[in-house]
Structure 1
């Protein structure tokens, strides 16, 4: 057997595998002998079928199978030995016919090679690293929300200013059917709010979505429509009133503070706002980190220039699925997946260059942290090490969970690497401005 590689260009190569009869004859004879032992053909005793008949009936199929096995193994071994970094899988070149009686069989495989390139994390970028602050407006809003949440609900018969309503937004054409709890101060226009005054349970108020709220993104929350649909949405929706209530706000006293945070942890409104600010900005930091990671990813894909073996990849896409694709379908699939493929190559380059590895101890520690957070949400603030370790062991016995958590740990490593090396402008914003920036509206 002889294997050679012909370099077509920097991104494409052809591997030729020449196989002689001596390479596979013994294996074919052994398989045929096994077939003969078990063959049951009318007119012959089991195990006494003439080899010529076995050869005639099964020979070519077995030869093809053994040649294919030999091809796959030799090709894989060659790729490893030559340290060839390929994209997709080798594609066999189609030949009109194979002369299985020939002393030598030659097969050719097309390869798509990974491009050579460098990643410069220190290059100048337009990436912004946001620091989200909980401003006074947000803090006051959250304090009021807490007072209402822990206040006393009073059932009312008709809507008045300051009351709340349970109901459902509907629009049959857009498929909107969204239950919501609303108050009149959510509307941008005072005229809209006044249209609810005096209404009773069972009444229906028709609203137009254009300019309904001070921020169109609220349509996503109240109507459950996508971000792509909210801008310029100009439709009528019905709000059916199902319940009306007023809220006698809870007093901001020590009893409420202890109920919220434990005895003595908070002792004043200022302490309460400080706690809210701390918790909110911790959550905001996670959102800001995710946006930073996404923005750096987009920037690297945009600025790291290299070619791909596009023609090869489109041919490979045609064959890789369960059902073959047409050339046009493969073109579309390549266009959809190209950005992801480019970043995968860039990410792999970064991981290798910076020796980023996920060790099992890191997986255990990260998983333990997640479990403690989840247990805290259910009131288990001080679980024992034995309890946590037992859950960690069960979680990491699942290969899918190991993959998912490994990806999270690697993502954290990439984020930290980017924070240290990527030249980004730092910008302090409130949460509303961050949301606008996230959707490209600043």
Structure 2
């Protein structure tokens, strides 16, 4: 009869020993062997007529090993269910100087030892005490509204080709290619489009007066100031700081000038294709409403981030660090080094704490997402993509949705997003929240929520 014993070896970290007698695994092994003999295909023998001794010799040891391990795993699982143990990840076989050796010809009592990391019990003080939070209402300034209207005029404007680079508003179409000092290309081409005014000051001087087809060899560190260099390396070069002293061949492919679209019916229709716009004042109001909608989304996103950081950093949760670090090293598809684990553990722990907290919120608020909700959300997004309303006829939609719902990745991503939305919706009413109006410039200067709450 199998026996299971448990011993604490650290904080929320236990060793579980499963001792099997041969009677615990031999009957099921012999049964599996007989079943295999009935279906085995061996040249020279009819199906089901392979001699038992041959089957035992061919596949016996592997099946024996599998059955012993399966039996140990089942007894461990039964024990954890009986004890109602909530654990992280999966039990891991403990390393041993004398690993278990299994021999089909000499079945004996055998003992396996596993280590488990146990999920902690905890309270969430910030919810219990209705912690104070600030939610913001961003008020768009008249200048921001005018800037947004100007941006829309430029977005729907047209580009007139120019002979040479001559003004800050010129758009430079170009390519950057890694090369040597003589301009011999050594890497792949990177395409870029940038307004001249946004380029490093020294590079602007070098480009002035040049036309399409002109090329030059540049070194990022030589054409950028200390402040300009990081941005220039990231975009357009898509490189890190190690590329600061590399050579690049810059070639102008086109010079253009953006001509903004005049305020009028054509612009109104381009910006709001399915909505009637009466005049410039009506257009301005509709732009203001859209801008406010976007600001509301950004403010709500910040509020949710603040909830996330507050709960993660103010909830006292003890974790089985030693077990989790071993699981990170050995439990994934690819083993990690101890140094990699130490480097990644802080971020891993941050997300794990949120997972435990959100699981608690889901349980306490009976939150769930149905398959119909997932399907309806995907359908709504598809219709929006094609500019259609929910009540418009789309005969192709049912077949399309059947195909989409077979895409596990899309369905899973939609499920997770809807679940997250419901979690934050449930949390929004559980704090003592002050609503504060704020200008957009002041809002974007606020300290980020992670820095505000980080102290664990």
State the Cα distance separating 1:114 from its structure 2 match.
Answer: 0.6
Note the 1:370-381 alignment, pairs <5 A: 370-376=381-387
SS at match of 1:278: helix
Residues 129-184 of structure 1 show CA distances to partners (whole Å, capped at 9, x for unaligned) of 34344432232223233434555654443455575233337585999945124154
Residues 249-295 of structure 1 show CA distances to partners (whole Å, capped at 9, x for unaligned) of 44323354345435882222222222222223323333333333333
- Over the aligned positions, Cα root-mean-square deviation in angstroms equals 4.5
Match of 2:149 in 1: 143
Match of 2:87 in 1: 86
Match of 2:121 in 1: 116
State the Cα distance separating 1:354 from its structure 2 match.
Answer: 1.8
Match of 1:4 in 2: 4
Q: Does 1:348 align with 2:353?
A: no
Distance 2:143 2:249 in 1: 30
Distance 2:438 2:248 in 1: 33
State the Cα distance separating 1:359 from its structure 2 match.
Answer: 1.6
Match of 2:182 in 1: none
State the Cα distance separating 1:405 from its structure 2 match.
Answer: 0.5
Distance 1:32 1:162 in 2: 81
Match of 1:165 in 2: 171
SS at match of 2:379: helix
Unaligned runs of 5+ in 1: none
State the Cα distance separating 1:425 from its structure 2 match.
Answer: 5.3
State the Cα distance separating 1:371 from its structure 2 match.
Answer: 1.6
SS at match of 1:267: coil
Distance 1:236 1:182 in 2: 22
Note if contact 2:174-2:254 (Cα within 8 Å) is conserved in structure 1. Answer: no
Distance 2:299 2:60 in 1: 65
Distance 1:19 1:134 in 2: 71
Match of 1:73 in 2: 74
Distance 1:329 1:281 in 2: 44
**Correspondence for 1:280 among 274, 288, 291:** 291
Unaligned runs of 5+ in 2: 180-186
SS at match of 1:89: coil
Note the 1:183-194 alignment, pairs <5 A: 184=197, 186=198
Note the 1:208-219 alignment, pairs <5 A: 208-210=223-225
Distance 2:206 2:33 in 1: 88
Q: Does 1:420 align with 2:425?
A: no
State the Cα distance separating 1:318 from its structure 2 match.
Answer: 3.4
Q: Does 1:398 align with 2:407?
A: yes
Distance 1:327 1:211 in 2: 36
Residues 292-327 of structure 1 show CA distances to partners (whole Å, capped at 9, x for unaligned) of 333332332211122211112223333323455555
Distance 2:341 2:161 in 1: 61
State the Cα distance separating 1:334 from its structure 2 match.
Answer: 3.7
SS at match of 1:88: coil
Change (3 A) 1:171 1:273: farther
Farther off after superposition, 3-12 or 83-92: 3-12
Distance 2:230 2:77 in 1: 52
Aligned length: 428
Match of 2:184 in 1: none
SS at match of 1:180: strand
**Correspondence for 1:269 among 277, 280, 295:** 280
